[in-house]
Structure 1
Amino acid sequence: MRVVSLVPSLTEAVAVSAPGILVGATDWCSHPADLAVARVGGTKNPRIEKILALTPDLVIANEEENREPDLAALRAAGVEVLLTEVRDVPQALSELTRVLDACGVTARPRWLDRAERAWSSPPAPERRTTAVVPIWRRPWMVLGRDTFAGDVLARLGVDHLYAGHQDRYPRLPLDELRAASPEVVVLPDEPYRFTAEDGPEAFPGLPCALVSGRHLTWYGPSLAEAPRVLAEALRAAHR
Structure 2
Amino acid sequence: MRVVSLVPSLTEAVAVSVPGVLAGATDWCDRPADLEVTRVGGTKNPKLDRIVALAPDLVIANEEENRAPDLDALRAAGIEVLVTEVREVPQAFPELARVLSACGARERPRWLDEAEAAWSSPPVLAERAAAVVPIWRRPWMVLGRDTFAGDVLARLGVDNIHAGHADRYPRIPLDELWAAAPGLVVFPDEPYRFTADDGPEAFPGLPCALVSGRHLTWYGPSLAEAPRVLTEALRAART
Task: Please report the TM-score for the alignment, with normalisation by the length of structure 1.
Answer: 0.99
Q: What secondary structure sits across from 1:100 in the alignment?
A: helix
**Structure 2 matches for 1:55-204, cutoff 5 A?**
55-204=55-204
Output the CA distance in 2 between the equivalents of 1:198 and 1:181.
20
- Aligned partner of 2:216 in structure 1 is 216
Report whether the alignment pairs 1:49 with 2:57.
Answer: no
Question: Alignment RMSD, CA only?
Answer: 0.6
- Aligned partner of 1:237 in structure 2 is 237
Q: Report percent identity of matched pairs.
A: 80
Output the CA distance in 2 between the equivalents of 1:139 and 1:63.
24
Output the CA distance in 2 between the equivalents of 1:62 and 1:112.
19
Output the CA distance in 2 between the equivalents of 1:57 and 1:36.
18
- One-letter amino acid of the counterpart of residue 99, structure 1: V
- One-letter amino acid of the counterpart of residue 135, structure 2: I
Output the CA distance in 1 between the equivalents of 2:218 and 2:76.
29
- Aligned partner of 1:19 in structure 2 is 19
Name the stretch that deviates more: 114-123 or 192-201.
192-201
- Aligned partner of 1:7 in structure 2 is 7
How many pairs are equivalent?
Answer: 239
- Aligned partner of 1:32 in structure 2 is 32
- Aligned partner of 2:207 in structure 1 is 207
Please list the CA deviations of residues 127-160 of structure 1 after superposition, one character each: whole Å capped at 9, or x if unmatched.
1110000000111000000000000000000001
Output the CA distance in 1 between the equivalents of 2:229 and 2:200.
22
Output the CA distance in 2 between the equivalents of 1:57 and 1:101.
13
Please list the CA deviations of residues 154-195 of structure 1 after superposition, one character each: whole Å capped at 9, or x if unmatched.
000000100000000000001000110100000000000001
Please list the CA deviations of residues 2-57 of structure 1 after superposition, one character each: whole Å capped at 9, or x if unmatched.
00000000000000000000000000001000000000000000000000110000
Please list every run of 5 or more consecutive structure 2 residues that lacks an aligned counterpart in the other structure: none
Task: Please report the TM-score for the alignment, with normalisation by the length of structure 2.
Answer: 0.99
- One-letter amino acid of the counterpart of residue 147, structure 1: T
Q: What secondary structure sits across from 2:126 in the alignment?
A: coil
- One-letter amino acid of the counterpart of residue 118, structure 2: A
- One-letter amino acid of the counterpart of residue 28, structure 1: W
Please list the CA deviations of residues 52-111 of structure 1 after superposition, one character each: whole Å capped at 9, or x if unmatched.
110000000000000011001100000000011010101111110110111111111010
Q: What secondary structure sits across from 2:187 in the alignment?
A: strand
Please list every run of 5 or more consecutive structure 1 residues that lacks an aligned counterpart in the other structure: none
Give the deviation of 1:202 after TM superposition.
0.7
